[in-house]
Structures are given as structure tokens and as C-alpha cells.
Amino acid sequence: MTPLHYRRPEESDHRRVVEAIPLWWKMPPEAAPTGLLPRLFFQHFTDTSILVEDDSGQLAAFLIGFRSASRPETAYIHFVGVAPELQRHGVARDLYERFFAMMRDRGCTRVDAITGPINRRSQSFHGALGFTQAGDTEVDGVLAYLDYDGPGQHRVTFTRAL
Ligand SMILES: CC(C)(COP(=O)(O)OP(=O)(O)OC[C@H]1O[C@@H](n2cnc3c(N)ncnc32)[C@H](O)[C@@H]1OP(=O)(O)O)[C@@H](O)C(=O)NCCC(=O)NCCS
């Protein structure tokens, strides 16, 4: 696989990350979850997030995460993506392990994340990384919390000890 280079994201990276989302999620722009990644994440959460580029400077992957301001023992992974041609090569696993180490150093003892009930790929990935999946109602064949993020916005939660 091509050599990869890891660094903190900068505000100027916001545009190309947002532009990558429909391609990487394989969704039309109007349906892609770009709204989950407003510019503020590239202003206020850069010291705990990671951006990956290949040798030519092309965007290869990113992880947006942070330490909870209200629950300092908890780290939170908000968003992760890997370029399609690099998927299933352990890039996201490596990003998560880098994030876990960074958060352990800051004193966190658990890491949380969420996804939608239909995102089976995310559920398989988090399961493979040792996360416990939770929900209280069967939605689309998996347990999810109904209306977790608002009416109709059901979510599966993940947690893992650090
Ligand atoms: C989900 C995603 C981040 C995984 O990234 P990745 O770099 O391909 O994942 P890894 O190679 O580190 O996979 C680690 C393990 O997770 C599991 N896994 C990853 N992708 C999977 C898939 N598509 N289906 C089933 N299991 C999967 C496997 O157990 C894998 O280990 P293995 O390859 O040795 O079997 C990537 O597919 C992606 O960016 N998808 C589009 C965006 C998206 O849905 N993001 C939200 C996910 S939280």
C-alpha cells in the first residue's frame, strides 16, 4: 500500500474533506452526511483529530474526535472516513488505535461513538475493534435507540474501555 502521512487537520482542510464524503460514502451529495461535519470541527477540535494523506498529498483518511468537555473520562469519535481504494487495509483501525493512545494519555477511560441502524459497515467495523453496541428497540433488524437524535433519527451507540 502507498505510504501514508498522518497530521493534525487544519481549517483549510475542511473543504476537501466535505467534498470527499459523497464519494467515499457512495451517496449523492444531497443525501451524503456532510452536514455532520461543519467547519467548527476544523477550528475547535483539530488537536484531537487526525488527517491522512498519501505520498502525493491526496486525502486518504480522516478521524474527527475529541475529549468530552462535560465527561472528561470519555473520548468521542464523531466521524471517520477512508478513501475507497484504501479500505480494508487497516487504515481506520490504525487511526482508532492512534486516537485511543492519545486519549489514554489525556486520562480518558472510555471511548464512545454512534451510527445509524442501517450502517452495517460501521457496526461491523466497531464490533471488530471491540466496541459494545447498544440500543433498546429493533430498527431495520438491529437494536437502536428510537429518536436518539430527534424524530426519526434512530441511532446505535458504541462504547469501549480504553
Ligand atoms: C467504515 C470504514 C471507516 C472502515 O475503514 P477501513 O480502513 O476499511 O477499516 P479497517 O481496514 O481498519 O477494518 C478493520 C476491521 O473492521 C471490519 N470491517 C471494516 N470494513 C468492513 C466492511 N465493509 N464490512 C465488514 N467488516 C468491515 C473488519 O473486521 C476489519 O478487519 P479485517 O479487514 O481484518 O477483516 C470505511 O469503510 C469507510 O470510510 N466507509 C465509508 C464511510 C463510513 O461509512 N464511515 C462511517 C464509519 S464509522
List alpha helices for the chain, DSSP H.
14-25, 41-44, 91-105, 120-128
Strands 110-115 and 74-82: parallel
How high is the pLDDT of residue 19?
96
Atom 27 of ligand 1, nearest CA residue: 125
26 lines ligand 1 (CB under 6 A): no
Contact 118/152 with Cβ under 8 angstroms? no
What residue spans define the domains of the chain? Answer: 1-67+78-89
How high is the pLDDT of residue 108?
98
Homologous superfamily of the 1-67+78-89 domain (CATH): Gcn5-related N-acetyltransferase (GNAT) (3.40.630.30)
pTM: 0.96
How high is the pLDDT of residue 2?
85
80 lines ligand 1 (CB under 6 A): yes
Residues 6+ apart with CB under 8 A from 152: none
- Residue of 125, 129, 133 best suited for mutating to test ligand 1, as the one with most atoms within 8 Å of CB: 125
How high is the pLDDT of residue 1?
78
Per-residue pLDDT of 77-97, as tens digits, reads 999 999 999 999 999 999 999
